[in-house]
Chain A
Amino acid sequence: MSIWKLLEIELYKISKRPRTYISFAAISAIVLIFQFAFKADGENYMNLMLQGINDSFQLDKQQAMNGYFMCYIILNTLLVQVPILVALVAGDAISGEANMGTLRLLLSKPISRTEILIAKFLASVFYTIILLIWMAFFALVLSLWIFGSGDMLVFRVAGEVSQIMQIAQDDIVWRYLAAFGYAAVALTVIASLAVFLSLFAENSIGPIITTICIVLVFTIVSNMNIPVIDTHVKPFLFTSYLVGWKGFFYIATTQDGIPIKGSIEDIQSIQRSLMILVGHIGLLLLLSIYIFKRKDILS
Chain B
Amino acid sequence: MGQNIVEVEGLSKSFASFEAVKHISFQIEKGSVYGFLGQNGAGKSTTMRMLLSLIQPNSGNIRIFGKPLKGNEKSILSNIGAIIEKPDTYGYLSGYDNLKIFSKIFSRPTSLSALDVLLEKVGLKGRGKDKVKSYSQGMKQRLGIAIALLNDPDFIMLDEPTNGLDPQGITEIRNLIGHFSKNEGKTILVSSHLLNEIEMVADSMIILHKGEKIAEGKVQQLLDPTKTIVTIETSNLQGAMNLIQNSNWSNKLASNNELRFEMDKEEIPLLVKSLVEHDIPVSNVQSNHSLENYFLKLTNA
**A: which residues have CB within 8 A of B?**
1, 5-6, 8-9, 12-13, 16-18, 100-102, 104-105, 107-112, 294, 296-298
Smallest CB separation, B146 vs chain A (Å): 12
Report A-chain residues with C-beta under 8 Å of the C-beta of B80: 108
Is residue B166 within 8 Å, beta carbon to beta carbon, of the partner chain? Answer: no
Report A-chain residues with C-beta under 8 Å of the C-beta of B107: 1
Contacting pair B104 A9 (CB below 8 A):
yes
Contacting pair A100 B77 (CB below 8 A):
no
Chain A binder among B82-90, B228-236, B258-266: B82-90
Chain A binder among B52-60, B168-176, B180-188, B205-213: B52-60
**B: which residues have CB within 8 A of A?**
15, 49, 52-56, 73-75, 77-78, 80, 82, 84-86, 88-93, 97, 101-102, 104-107, 147
Q: Which residue of A lies closest to B51 (CB)?
A: A108
* Contact A105/B89 with A8-B104, A9-B105 known, Cβ cut-off 8 Å: yes
Smallest CB separation, B149 vs chain A (Å): 13
Report B-chain residues with C-beta under 8 Å of the C-beta of A12: 97, 101
Report B-chain residues with C-beta under 8 Å of the C-beta of A294: 56
Contacting pair B147 A105 (CB below 8 A):
yes
Contacting pair B54 A107 (CB below 8 A):
yes
B52 CB contact (under 8 Å) in A1, A101, A102, A108? A108
What are 28 contact pairs spanning A and B, CB under 8 A?
A1-B105, A13-B90, A13-B93, A16-B92, A17-B92, A100-B88, A101-B85, A101-B86, A101-B88, A104-B49, A105-B84, A105-B88, A105-B147, A107-B52, A108-B52, A108-B53, A108-B77, A108-B80, A108-B84, A109-B102, A109-B105, A109-B106, A110-B106, A112-B73, A112-B74, A296-B56, A297-B54, A297-B55
Contacting pair A108 B88 (CB below 8 A):
no
- Give the dominant DSSP class at B's interface: loop
Contacting pair A108 B82 (CB below 8 A):
yes
Q: Which residue of B lies closest to A108 (CB)?
A: B52
* Contact A296/B54 with A102-B90, A110-B73, A110-B78 known, Cβ cut-off 8 Å: yes
Contacting pair A297 B106 (CB below 8 A):
no
Complex CA–CA separation, A121 to B55 (angstroms): 23
Q: Which residue of A lies closest to B157 (CB)?
A: A108
Smallest CB separation, A112 vs chain B (Å): 7
Contacting pair A104 B84 (CB below 8 A):
yes
Contacting pair A110 B75 (CB below 8 A):
yes
Complex CA–CA separation, A156 to B88 (angstroms): 53
Complex CA–CA separation, A105 to B146 (angstroms): 13
Smallest CB separation, A22 vs chain B (Å): 14
> Which 4 pairs from chain A and chain B are nearest by CB?
A101-B88, A110-B78, A297-B54, A110-B77
B101 CB contact (under 8 Å) in A9, A17, A298? A9
Smallest CB separation, B280 vs chain A (Å): 57
Complex CA–CA separation, A12 to B86 (angstroms): 24
Complex CA–CA separation, A63 to B220 (angstroms): 91
Q: Which residue of B lies closest to A115 (CB)?
A: B74
Smallest CB separation, B70 vs chain A (Å): 13
Contacting pair B54 A16 (CB below 8 A):
no
Complex CA–CA separation, A49 to B75 (angstroms): 65
Contacting pair B91 A100 (CB below 8 A):
yes
| Given A100-B90, A105-B84, A296-B54; 10 other pairs, CB 8 A cutoff | A1-B105, A12-B97, A17-B92, A102-B88, A108-B82, A110-B75, A110-B78, A296-B56, A297-B49, A298-B49
